Amino acid sequence: MQKQLPIVRLRNLIIEDTDDRFKWCMDEEVTKHLNMPDKYPPFTIEETRIWIEMCINKTNGYEQKAILTEDGKHIGWIDLKNIDSLNKHAELGITIGDKNYWGKGYGIAAMNEMLKFGFQEVGLNKIWLRVEVDNEKAISSYKRPGYVEEGILRQDRLRKGTYVDRLRMSILKEEFLVEKIIR
């Protein structure tokens, strides 16, 4: 039987998100599969604050949102980037930074909210992502809302001196709408 997904809320970033974001970015278990520099720490708290500010002011091309639990706890972030308005597609990225919330359906629930936002409010037709082939946990959670595999991007990420293949996956608006019956 299908498990009930937890309720999550997405909200615009605020500058006070900086401390949580910095803490999560210092956790190498969280960042292992993220496209971040190999050096440690990957960036300073000041650089993190500047990045959050760019997201708030939308000067970096990202539609980035904070993920909150039903009772308002900040647990991660999710974004759309590489927004191609001509062809109506964008790349999605997601991180549940608070590891206490891993494996409980929060990633899938946040993904559903972002897909709704992307298809209904941004007007996209396809939302795609790249995931490292050894990030099995993420791949299996992406299949739940209906992402399908598009192909392997060979040696797509240089991770700690080794090139890693990434899987490209996508979901179309028509597939998501059929699944979720959004009105």
Ligand X SMILES: CC(C)(COP(=O)(O)OP(=O)(O)OC[C@H]1O[C@@H](n2cnc3c(N)ncnc32)[C@H](O)[C@@H]1OP(=O)(O)O)[C@@H](O)C(=O)NCCC(=O)NCCS
Residue number with CB closer to ligand X (3 or 39): 3
Residue number with CB closer to ligand X (30 or 66): 30
Least distance CB 86 / ligand X (angstroms): 25
42 contacts ligand X (rule: CB under 6 A)? no
**What letter would DSSP give residue 121?**
I
Q: Given candidates 96, 115, 127, 169, which one binds ligand X under the rule CB under 6 A?
A: 96
CB-based burial, 44-62: b 16+ in 10 Å, e otherwise: eeeebbebbeebeeeeeeb
67 contacts ligand X (rule: CB under 6 A)? no
5 contacts ligand X (rule: CB under 6 A)? yes
Least distance CB 76 / ligand X (angstroms): 6
Residue number with CB closer to ligand X (149 or 174): 149
Stretch that binds ligand X, among 36-44, 105-113, 150-158, 167-175 (CB under 6 A): 105-113
Q: Given candidates 11, 58, 73, 137, which one binds ligand X under the rule CB under 6 A?
A: 137
Angle 9-13-5 from CA coordinates, rounded to 5°: 20
140 contacts ligand X (rule: CB under 6 A)? yes
C-alpha 176 chain-centroid distance: 17
> In whole angstroms, how far apart are CA 120 and each of 59, 109, 128, 141, 161?
22, 17, 16, 22, 40
108 contacts ligand X (rule: CB under 6 A)? yes
173 contacts ligand X (rule: CB under 6 A)? no
Cα torsion 84, 80, 27, 8 to 10°: value is -170
Residue number with CB closer to ligand X (106 or 176): 106
CA distance 172 to 127: 7
CA distance 29 to 103: 14
Give the footprint of ligand X on this chain (CB under 6 A).
Answer: 3-5, 30, 33-34, 94-96, 102-108, 131, 135, 137-138, 140-141
